[in-house]
Amino acid sequence: MSNIHHKVDWKKRVRQEYFRLRQIKKFQRSDNIKTAFTSNLSCISEKLDQLQEHCSKLKAQKISSGGSFAHEPVTKSCIAKSSVHSFRDQAVPLSTLNLVPNLPICYTWVPVQQNFMVEDETILHNIPYMGDEVLDEDGAFIEELIKNYDGKVHGDREGDFINDEIFLELVESLNKLNVRRGRRPTRKRANEGGKHKAASTAADSSNEDEDLTLSDDSSDVIFLTFPCDDIFSAIADLFPDKGTVEDLKEKYKELTEVYDPDTQLPDCTPNIDGPSAKSVPRERALHSFHELFCRRCYKYDCFQHSHTHRPPAKINRRKTLDIQPPSTACGQFCFLHLDGAKEFSMFHKKLSSINTRKQQNRTTGCGGASGSSSGSRPSTPTPSESETDTNEEKDVSGDIIKFTDLPASLQDIEWDGAESTLFRVLHETYLNNFCAISQLIHTKSCQQVFAFALKESASLTTQQGSGTIALDHETIELSPPKKKRKHRLWSLHARRVQQKRDNSSSHVYNYQPCNHIGQPCDNSCQCVALGNFCEKFCQCVSDCHNRFPGCRCKAQCNTKQCPCYLAVRECDPDLCTHCGADQFGDNAGKSCKNVLIQRGMHKHLLLAPSDVAGWGIYIKEDVQTKNEFISEYCGEIISQDEADRRGKVYDKYMCSFLFNLNNDFVVDATRKGNKIRFANHSVNPNCYAKVMMVNGDHRIGIFSNRPVQAGEELFFDYRYSQSDAMKYVGIEREMEPV
Amino acid sequence: MPRPKKTEKSKKEEIVLDLRQDREEFLRAFEKPTQIYRFLRARHIISPTYLHRSLFYLKNRCSRTNARREAFRVDDMLKVCEHKNASYGFTTPRYFDQLKIAILGFYIDPGVHYANSLSKKLNTVDAEISIQKTLRCRRKDCEIVHTEEVVGAVEVPVNPRNPDNYEEEPIIISTTDIKQSKDGQSIKNYSLMFRVYEPQDDSSESEDESSDNLQSDEEMDVDEDDEQKNKKLKDDPAAISLRNLTMGSRRKRVFRQESKECESDDSRSCKNETRAPRKFKKFNNQRFESAIYDADLSVFTSEKKSLLLDGEYELSLNRKCPESNDGRRNATWEALDGGREIKVLSTMNHCPILKFKLLWMEDDKPGPLAPPPDEDKATSFGEEPDSKRARRRINQKCNDTEKASENGNCNAENGPVLPVDSIQYRKLWPPCDTERSENGQLEANSIYDPRQIVYYQFIYNTESQQQTEARDDLYCPWCQLNCMSLYGLIKHLKTCHPRFNFSYTPQSQGSSVEVSVNECYDGSFCGNPQFIFAQPGMAFSRRGPVRRVQATDTLVYRPRKERGARNLNLNELLEKEENDSSPTSHYSAGHHRLYFHSNSSLPIRPCEFDNDSEEETDPDWLRNHIKKMLDEFTDVNDGEKPIMKLWNLYIMKHRCIADGQMSNSCQHFIDLYASLIIRHNLRRNLLLHLVTLLDFGVLKASALLSLIKHFDKIAEKTSKVTSKDEITNGSDILSEDIRSNDLSMEDVDDVSLPSVSKQSRSRSRTVSICSEKSTNLQKLQEIIDQATKTKKDTK
């Protein structure tokens, strides 16, 4: 009896609590909207002020609006007659305004000068409105559209449905109530909660009043017991669609685990410049940098390549490691003056000299590397030494010097977390060039660094590891001289280009850097499989046979003589060093004309209502020749599936900015884009579009089809590039003179 | 058989109807544009507008040569002046007693309908000259007394073809008898009255009128039934006869041998006289009924100064009939625009004109009334500008060899020459080409063929019907501009009358021009719309100066080198075959439209035309977006975030596309942001960042080392500055230094301050706790905070 009564009581309370929470949410929401609105307003007014200030600086005349008609002759009059006879007719002069033509409709868009990759949308963000008549006659369209998104529409608020957040709050507030009435004998304590907060249960009862007062304000610190079953059963009664009591409990457990404030985020290393910097291994110190860096756009967390497309850090980077261990002391207190240090460095130098033997000629004296002493002599490896067994030497090295042999003053030096982390980070790159490391760390001398290095090696015995790494280097980097390789590749490459054109004429796949360590690029390599060249972003060796060798043109690279041009690629500034693609700054663009997309050297375009339909884009200056670069067609990069979904809507609007980039992606300039998006379609165009491979990315260039005069409207044939997206282009007017 | 008769009759009627319909259609098509062009021409005569136009195709009309420019020296100007003075002294008019008047002809504009009859009927008219004296009474109450005596009458030809052939007997008036009136009363005014009579006395005014009507009716092929309607048509200014259309209106010329000094006087007096002709009605009542036209010309002013100089005169005569139908004809659109007086023009256009020569006869002694030359000169100079009605001197170079020789070439050189002024009375002077050919300036005979007949074929009613009219001169039918060459004429038609389409085709004798109404013409401004914005409102105001918006335009003309472009060739005017069917020819090139900002859809003002909104690679939203994206990471610590943001924003602004650029970019990055990084104590994060670049193989280890060295050097410098200032307590200087530094990196701080400064504030607390070099740092931090605060305030 009491049980039933109790249950009813709970149910009632759950409902009460639920509506209270809903109410609070509602208020919070409206408050948020208000604050956002006011902040936006202030933002706008700030912008306006800026604009006004800017305008006041400009010495320009305002367009005078005339204001009155005083200067206009009055030719007509307007008479108002009254049906009441006693009122006289009233006449006023009538001045008519000239008709101002309407501007075409323009939907808001965001200007970008680069492609912008966006994720697929899983919910329909808005139900497109196309006028009542469309909705009336074609209601099925909207339904179909919603079906595409699995019935999910943004901002759908379901009546009785409670989401995770409300659920959690509901349970917690109910639990509070429960605890408040905790002195009642009927109270049940849930033991399941022991797992989570068992430690606090004892202290709970004594502090609960204080806790309760606190928890009203700050809900993030709640030391409460696990809620009792009654609560869940009551909720389950009220919301039967949410599952059974057990389901709810499980869900609650999951949610509290996530929301537990005590669990520290595991990946976050403390700030290395901060006071709480810890001594962490190299991988952790560089973790977020390595994870976020995009090698292709040199940015962190770039918006152009999703993280799956970002190549990882290079393992094979012999070229960049051009620092050698010092052969001379960097100063009076250089570690080389210590006993045994010379031998240590000599040993390691031999090791590294094996690795760098091939490079000897190229590497100039590493004076900068070896510290302040400018007159560094090149190391002199003997050929016989390179043949000697490294294992032998390792044994020798074992008894060269040990940390304990060092003077006590060096042993006692305190290394804080940041410094030791930095050492680990730098040690891998600079190996045993302690002078350089000390310069980079800045707070420790090279003697101290040396000492720390010995200590580290002693404790971790990474000596073995570094030795093996060095061996790895050796094995990987045995390669024929550069020049020879290039020649060989050169002869091969033309044929390959031809092949490529033959078998993959219509299907172009998105390039993704391959990452198969230790294996040559064979059929298992994704670049080979998709018919792409390997790029500098790939992990394969730089003389991989699938790499594009670049061009060696002396001319402007705008004819088919240029292999880059032939392969529909822009010249790679790191590969093509003859044509001037690698020249930047003042002497840039002297010769190579095949780098304009990557450098963004577009023409000045102007927007005006089109002669054909809607808006049009006009060119400001003359274009002298054919095949001149006009602009890049930028927009959002979306997947083909997403393009299909969006295209349905655009199809209805009779206005599409979709542009097939390759088999995987589509450029959509509807939301983000640049001015060339306003170029209209024509069957007799003055421009054409070409998808080019630009440093590993496919990008769409718009080029001139013939000389274009200043002030001409630009057209290109949509059908060329969008073989089947043509159906989206609703309006195609013939522009032939009648 | 009545039927065929009927049909025949109906056929006739049909034909008549057809004709009428045809005519109406023709009028409907061509009436409006023709009127508009007529009006524009008239307006241009009164108050010319000067536009930037290339008139290369009318270069024969250019009267000046640049030949003298080469040899020009400044002294020449003086010489010219001296010469002028000398010649002036030489040709100073002398006034003698005998005034010889030779009437050359009586000109009636055949275009004016009421004059038609007259010109047709009459070959000669009688012209009578009388002297009218206005005497001043001694007594005050007495009115001014006019006396009039007829001096002579001659028979004058109407519209003589060749005025030079006509030898008239001159009327000689001796001024000696004028000098004193009979009563010895002083003469206030002394003027010549000109009257023109019709020889038949019995033809009354009303008959005249009716016959006139009849005449025109016949002309227009209209039945008598429609006379009423026809009359309406005629009176209606919109109704233009074909003849009217092509002939245009006439204007009067005044030849002056003297330079323009005297014209003002003359014209003013003329105006006075012509405006009040009815005053004298009562005095010449004896032959009033047959006197059709009259005018008067004052000879002396009250100061006994002579107003008349030797020369050739044209005098507009006023019709003496009481009802004047000119009034309605002259109603033009100009009246709408402020009701400007335009009668001046209409009198010259519609009044008959009497031409005569005036010569002061040689006598033994100079006339006593001849004013001293100096005085005359002085007064006339002063009066010259307000001579509204003054006809400027006519460029006589064109036609009249006789006159040209008479007048010398002084006219051609000084004073502006209006193109209007050289419009000749067509019937009066035969086409000028004979003289032209003598000049040897011909470039191609086809262009300047003297007997060029131009057939105008008016095509209307959707090209199904046409009317042809031939003209034997090279005047523009719409604006009476003597184009002087066929090329010029057709070019003029094509360029200046866009309401019509003209197509030229050469024919065996002469050439034909097809005229049709340009349906596409919409009267809209077909130039660069920026000019509209640049000159709002009353750019072409006719009511005096209007202030314009300042705008600088560079007019650059670079002609395309086409074959035969130098020789103005008629071939270019031929209708081109549609072989060059380039699709662009359909569209207009050039910036003849208004452009809009792509982000706001507001019109681009001329001053913004050169700014490319796409130059900016890092728009605000993208910078914010990048910052937000990085902020969203929970597992990236607050030392890594700012360095990543700084780097991202840097790379976005200074786009970096090659590995080879990386070390330079980093160097630049450090140059830009070193102070910021030092301030926020991010050196190790910078190091980690560079090591990352190294790990990804885009930076070399040696480059990294030198970069860090570079950074440390900057750091050392800044710390030195701070310590030094610390000692001298010059914290103001320091803060200033930093602020200026901030300003110099405006773009940096704009983006990074909101996020970074917050962190810096929180960190400043921690830094002061943890590290013991703090006094320096803390102080620095405070100063920075202060600086940023003040900066915010100023913002």
pLDDT for the residue B397: 36
Rounded to a whole number of angstroms, the distance from the CA of B756 to the nearest CA of chain A is 14
pLDDT band of B57, cuts 50, 70, 90: confident
Mutation target to probe the B interface, by most B beta carbons within 10 A, among A297, A435, A440 is A440
pLDDT higher for A350 or B679? B679
Number of C-beta neighbours around residue A350 at 10 A? 19
Position with higher pLDDT, B763 vs A392: A392
pLDDT at position B163: 56
Hey, what are B625's tokens?
Answer: 């977006």
- Chain B: closest CA distance from residue A482 (Å): 18
Taking an 8 Å cut-off on Cβ atoms, the answer to whether A442 and B596 are in contact is: no
What's the order of all strands across the beta sheet hosting B98-107? B171-174, B98-107, B353-360, B311-316, B255-256
CA-to-CA separations, A9 to A168, A237, B64, in angstroms, rounded: 20, 12, 112
> What digits encode the pLDDT tens for the residues B222-278?
344 444 444 443 343 333 333 444 443 333 333 333 333 333 343 443 343 333 333
- Only one residue has tokens 């400009």, namely A58
- Helix, strand, coil fractions of chain A, as percent rounded to 5: 40, 10, 45
Chain A residues close to B594, C-beta within 8 Å: 608
Which residues have C-beta within 8 Å of that of residue A736, sequence separation ≥ 6?
A: A684, B583, B586
Q: Do B661 and A584 touch (CB under 8 A)?
A: yes
Tell me the chain A residues in contact with residue B688 when contact means C-beta distances shorter than 8 Å: 272, 285-286, 289, 425
CA distance B94 to B364: 12
**Contact flag A299-B647 (C-beta cutoff 8 Å):** yes
Which candidate in A76, A320, A427, A576 is best for mutational testing of the B interface (most B CBs within 10 A)?
A: A320
Of B590, B606, B625, the CB nearest to A710: B590
Within 8 A of A303 by CB-CB distance, chain B residues are: 625-626, 629
d(C-alpha B698, C-alpha A579), whole Å: 22
Residue B389, token pair as written in the block: 């009605």
Residue type, A109: W
Portion 285-314 of B in contact with A at CB < 8 A: none
Check residues A34 and B442 and name the one with the higher pLDDT.
A34
The pLDDT tens digits of the residues spanning B388-407 come to: 333 333 333 333 333 333 33
* Residue scoring higher pLDDT (B39 or B745): B39
* pLDDT, average across residues B190-206: 61
CB contact under 8 A, B687 and A322: no
Instruction: Determine the residue of chain B that is closest to A270 in CA distance.
Output: B637
CA–CA gap between residue A283 and residue A286 (Å, rounded):
5
CB B195 within 8 A of CB B128: yes
Identity of the residue in A265, A313, A572 whose CB atom sits nearest the CB atom of B635: A265
Residue A506 confidence (pLDDT): 57
Cα gap B302→A443, rounded to integer Å: 113
Q: CB within 8 A of B60, min separation 6: which ones? A: B436, B441, B484, B485, B488
Enumerate the residues of chain B whose CB falls inside 8 A of the CB of residue A736: 583, 586
Q: What is residue B455's three-state secondary structure?
A: strand
Q: Note the Cα B567 to chain centre separation in Å.
A: 27
Task: Please report, for residues B417, B753, B776, the alpha-carbon distance to residue B768 in angstroms, rounded to integers and kept in the order given.
Answer: 89, 21, 10
CB A714 within 8 A of CB A686: yes
Which of helix, strand or coil describes residue B441?
coil
Going by C-alpha positions, the residue among A608, A340, A62 that lies closest to residue B594 is A608
CB B565 within 8 A of CB B559: yes
> Taking CB atoms and an 8 Å cutoff, what residues of chain A touch B661?
573, 584
Residues of chain B contacting A578 with CB distance shorter than 8 Å? none
* B537 to chain A: closest CA residue: A66
Distance CA A141, CA A130 (A): 11
- Name the residue facing B598 among A58, A299, A675 (closest C-beta): A675
Q: HSE-up of A39 (CA within 13 Å, CB side)?
A: 6
Q: Does B661 touch chain A (CB under 8 A)?
A: yes
Contacts of A609 in chain B (CB under 8 A): 593
pLDDT in tens, A327-358: 666 766 677 776 666 666 666 655 555 554 44
C-alpha–C-alpha distance, residues A172 and A193, integer Å = 13
Query: In the prediction, which pLDDT does A325 show?
Result: 64
| Chain B 738-767, residues with CB within 8 Å of chain A CB atoms | 763, 766-767
DSSP H or E run through B644:
helix B640-653
Interface test with B, best of A59, A61, A672, A674 (most B CBs within 10 A): A61
Cα separation of A286 and A289, whole Å? 5
Q: Which of B597, B652, B695 to mutate to test the interface with A (most CBs of A within 10 A)?
A: B695
A314–B596 C-beta distance less than 8 A: no
Identify the CA nearest to A165 among candidates A25, A262, A11: A25
Residues of chain A with pLDDT under 70: 1-8, 58-75, 131-139, 155-164, 178-227, 240-243, 255-269, 307-329, 331-333, 338-411, 458-507, 585-590, 719-738
C-alpha pair distances (Å), B48 with each of B44, B421, B477, B495, B544: 4, 12, 19, 18, 12
Cβ–Cβ below 8 Å for A272 and B685: yes
Which residues does B387 contact at the CB level (< 8 Å), separation at least 6? Answer: B263, B264, B267, B268
**Which runs of E-coded beta strand occur in B558-693?**
none
Residues 6+ apart with CB under 8 A from B337: A73, B542, B543
Edge-to-edge strand ranges of the sheet holding A697-704: A629-633, A697-704, A687-694, A715-716, A680-681
By Cβ distance, the residue of B337, B635, B705 closest to A368 is B705
Q: Which residues of A touch B588 (CB under 8 A)?
A: 711
Instruction: Look at B635 and A599 and tell me if their CB atoms are within 8 Å.
Output: no
A711: which chain B residues are within 8 Å (Cβ-Cβ)?
A: 588-593
Q: Give the separation between CA A423 and CA A451, rounded to whole angstroms.
A: 12
Non-local (6+) Cβ contacts of B500 within 8 A are B33, B493, B515, B516, B517, B518
Q: What tokens were used for A358?
A: 């091939």
| Distance of alpha carbon B130 from alpha carbon B152, whole angstroms | 7
Is there a contact between A274 and B622 if contact means CB atoms under 8 Å apart?
no
Mutation target to probe the B interface, by most B beta carbons within 10 A, among A276, A541, A606 is A606
Q: Is the CB of A710 less than 8 angstroms away from the CB of B589?
A: yes
Q: Tell me how far apart the alpha carbons of residues A588 and A603 are, in angstroms, rounded to a whole number.
A: 17
Q: Average pLDDT in the B148-176 region? A: 69
Question: Would you state the pLDDT for residue B785?
Answer: 59
Q: Which of B350, B352, B344 is nearest to B316 (CA)?
A: B352
A–B: how many Cβ contacts below 8 A?
Answer: 259
Q: Residue A293: its chain B contacts at CB < 8 A?
A: 692-693, 696
Specify the DSSP class assigned to residue A547: B
> A362 vs chain B: nearest CA distance in angstroms?
14
Is 0.85 exceeded by the ipTM?
no
Max distance between CA atoms of chain B, in angstroms, equals 137
Q: B606 with B551: CB under 8 angstroms?
A: yes
CB-nearest to B634 from A265, A285, A678 is A265
Q: pTM of the entire structure? A: 0.52
**CB spacing of B613 vs A675 below 8 angstroms:** yes
Q: Furthest-apart CA pair in chain A: how many Å?
A: 127
The answer to whether B701 faces chain A, any CB pair under 8 Å, is yes
Q: In this structure, what DSSP letter does residue A226 have?
A: P
Are A275 and B767 a contacting pair at CB < 8 A? yes
Do the Cβ atoms of B529 and B520 come closer than 8 Å? Answer: no
Chain B residues with beta carbon closer than 8 angstroms to that of A300: 630, 644, 647-648
Asked if residue B72 lies in contact with residue B64, where contact means CB atoms within 8 angstroms, the answer is no
Separation between Cα atoms, residue B614 and residue A604, nearest integer Å = 8
CB contact under 8 A, A320 and B533: no
Q: Averaged over B174-187, what is the pLDDT?
A: 57
Q: What CA–CA distance (Å, rounded) separates B441 from B206?
A: 53
d(CA A283, CA A290): 9
Q: How many CB atoms lie within 10 A of CB A432?
A: 24
Return the closest-CA partner of residue A257 out of A164, A328, A170, A131: A164
DSSP reduced 3-state for A120: coil
Q: Cβ B607–A59 below 8 Å, yes or no?
A: yes
pLDDT (mean) for B520-541? 55
Strands A110-111 and A665-673: parallel
For chain B, helix, strand, coil in percent to 5 are 45, 15, 40
Q: How far is B114 from chain A (nearest CA, A)?
A: 32
**Beta carbons of A265 and B648 less than 8 Å apart:** no
For A424, the token pair is 């680990």
Which B residues in the span 576-595 are in contact with A, Cβ-Cβ below 8 Å? 583-584, 586-595
Shortest Cα distance, chain B CAs vs residue A137, angstroms: 33
Q: For position A350, what pLDDT does the model report?
A: 59
Interaxial angle between packed helices A434-441 and A417-430, expressed in degrees from 0 to 180 and rounded to the nearest 10: 140
Determine whether A179 is exposed, middle or buried from the number of CB atoms within 10 Å of its CB (0-12, 13-18, 19+): buried
Q: How far is CA B730 from CA A232, B783, B785, in A?
A: 69, 12, 17
Length, in residues, of chain A: 738
Chain B residue numbers touching A298 (CB-CB < 8 A): 651, 656, 662, 665, 693, 698
Nearest CA-CA partner of B353 in B104, B106, B103: B106
Q: Which amino acid is at B241?
A: S
Interchain proximity B688–A713, CB inside 8 Å: no
A313 with B630: Cβ contact below 8 A: no
The segment with the largest mean pLDDT, out of A32-46, A240-254, B306-320, B325-339, is A32-46
